[in-house]
Amino acid sequence: MNEIMLQIFYISETSPDKARIIIEKCWDDIIKQKFRDAQFSKISPFDSLSDKIKELGLKFYPSDLVFPLLYLVNKLEQSSLDYYIKENSYSYGWVARSLLDVKIPFNLLFQVYQSIYESKLPPWSSNEAIAFLIHNILKLVQTWFDYIRSPATGFYERDEFPAREIDEVLSKYLSNLPMDNKSLSNEIQKLQSRLRSAF
CB within 8 A of 158, min separation 6: which ones?
Answer: 148, 149
At residue 182 the predicted structure's pLDDT band, cuts being 50, 70 and 90, is very high
Domain ranges, ordered by start, for the chain: 105-199
Give yes or no for residue 16 having a pLDDT over 80. no
Query: Which runs of E-coded beta strand occur in the chain?
Result: none
Q: What is the mean pLDDT of residues 156-174?
A: 95
pLDDT tens readout for residues 114-134: 999 999 999 999 999 999 999
Q: What are phi and psi of 90, to 5 degrees?
A: -170, 150
Q: What is the pLDDT of residues 35-87, one digit of tens each?
A: 998 888 878 899 999 999 999 999 999 999 999 999 999 999 999 999 999 98
Q: Is the dihedral of CA 145, 147, 148, 150 positive or negative?
A: positive
pLDDT of 13: 60
pTM for the complete prediction? 0.94
The predicted structure's pLDDT at residue 1: 78
What pLDDT, on a 0 to 100 scale, did the predictor assign at position 15?
67
Question: What pLDDT is attached to residue 87?
Answer: 87
Report whether pLDDT(190) > 70.
yes
Q: DSSP secondary structure string, 26-69?
A: HHHHHHHHHHHHHHTSSS-HHHHHHHHHHHHHHHHTT-TTTS-H
The Cα 17–Cα 14 span in angstroms is 9
